[in-house]
């Protein structure tokens, strides 16, 4: 990018798209647009009516730095500080996992279960284990009017991000935040639902993660132990002990550990036959296990 040339919005986008494509970015054009919109402090759609505009040098300087970091592998969400999830915008930092579209299946499963099990207006108690940026807790609080949510994370820094997102989405009064390893330090309350996107990457899979995941996202939010389901194996009996009847444990899982997770749930004895929900690729992504009376 030579300073002596005329660089319009349109030209910047095309050059950056080609540059990121050469560096194997999965979505080079989208990345370029998001980064330029961030540098320009505008909505991405506004770029389409400004292709002939020549941005100020301060904008170009900021954009160049963002592009440099993206080309080095840093995720776009961390560069711009936010990510959309379930049609809501969430602040993200390096302290939290970047929200993925697949996790929306957990939200959908929760809302479907609430409609089926609780057609009345009684208070519904929900615990989100490993809340991270707070996406599951906040989506529950916004979409279930009579919900009372406890958002749990082992990381104080992650909880601060979740709290700020809850305030931004005006549901902070409906969510209690608790620093805890799973449910160990959470008050002995019972819940109608326990939801979680727990760490489920195995030791072998951790070695194969793309650089923009393995080198930037928090390993505590990714690594599920040698097998990938060691943390889930700890969570299942804790959830079984706290869940009310009717109630359910709803977790995101990896397709690779579906059979192992189902076996753990059946072995626990506190759940009905688990239901598996597949994602848009046809892969097992969410497991729903309803609590049954002992």
Q: pLDDT tens string for the chain (294 positions)?
A: 555 578 999 999 999 999 999 998 889 999 999 999 999 999 999 999 999 999 999 999 999 999 999 999 999 999 999 999 999 999 999 999 999 999 999 999 999 999 999 988 889 999 999 999 999 999 999 999 999 999 999 999 999 999 999 999 999 999 999 999 999 999 878 999 999 999 999 999 999 999 999 999 999 999 999 999 999 999 999 999 999 999 999 999 999 999 999 999 999 999 999 999 999 999 999 999 999 987
Domain residue limits, the chain:
9-72, 94-290
Q: Write the class of the CATH domain 94-290.
A: alpha beta
Give yes or no for a contact between 272 and 290, defined as CB atoms under 8 angstroms apart.
Answer: yes
From CA 44, how far away is CA 36, in angstroms rounded? 8
Q: Is the dihedral of CA 67, 51, 89, 170 positive or negative?
A: positive
How do 243-252 and 284-290 pair as beta strands? antiparallel
Give yes or no for a contact between 36 and 16, defined as CB atoms under 8 angstroms apart.
Answer: yes
Report field, pTM of the whole predicted structure over 0.75:
yes
């Amino acid at each position: 990018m030579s300073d002596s040339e005329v660089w319009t919005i349109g030209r910047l986008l095309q050059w950056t798209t080609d540059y990121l494509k050469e560096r194997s970015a999965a979505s080079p054009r989208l990345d370029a647009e998001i980064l330029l919109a961030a540098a320009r402090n505008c909505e991405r759609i506004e770029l389409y009516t400004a292709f002939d505009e020549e941005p100020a040098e301060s904008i170009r300087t900021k954009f160049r730095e963002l592009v440099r970091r993206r080309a080095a592998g840093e995720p776009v969400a961390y560069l711009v500080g936010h990510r959309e999830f379930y049609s809501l915008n969430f602040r993200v930092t390096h302290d939290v996992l970047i929200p993925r579209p697949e996790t929306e299946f957990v939200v959908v499963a929760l809302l479907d279960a609430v409609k089926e099990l609780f057609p009345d207006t009684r208070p519904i108690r929900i615990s989100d284990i490993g809340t991270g940026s707070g996406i599951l807790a906040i989506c529950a609080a916004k979409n279930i009017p009579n919900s009372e949510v406890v958002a749990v994370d082992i990381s104080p820094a992650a909880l601060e991000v979740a709290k700020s997102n809850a305030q931004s989405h005006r549901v902070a009064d409906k969510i209690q935040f608790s620093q805890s390893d799973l449910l160990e330090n959470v008050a002995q309350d019972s819940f109608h639902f326990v939801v979680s996107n727990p760490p489920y990457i195995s030791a072998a899979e951790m070695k194969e993660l793309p650089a923009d995941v393995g080198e930037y996202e928090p390993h505590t939010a990714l690594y599920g132990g040698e097998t990938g389901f060691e943390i889930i194996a700890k969570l299942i009996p804790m959830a079984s002990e706290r869940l009310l009847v009717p109630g359910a444990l709803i977790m995101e899982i990896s397709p690779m550990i579906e059979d192992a997770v189902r076996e753990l749930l059946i072995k626990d004895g506190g759940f009905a036959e688990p239901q598996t929900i597949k994602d848009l690729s046809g892969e097992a992504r969410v497991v729903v296990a309803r609590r049954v009376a002992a």
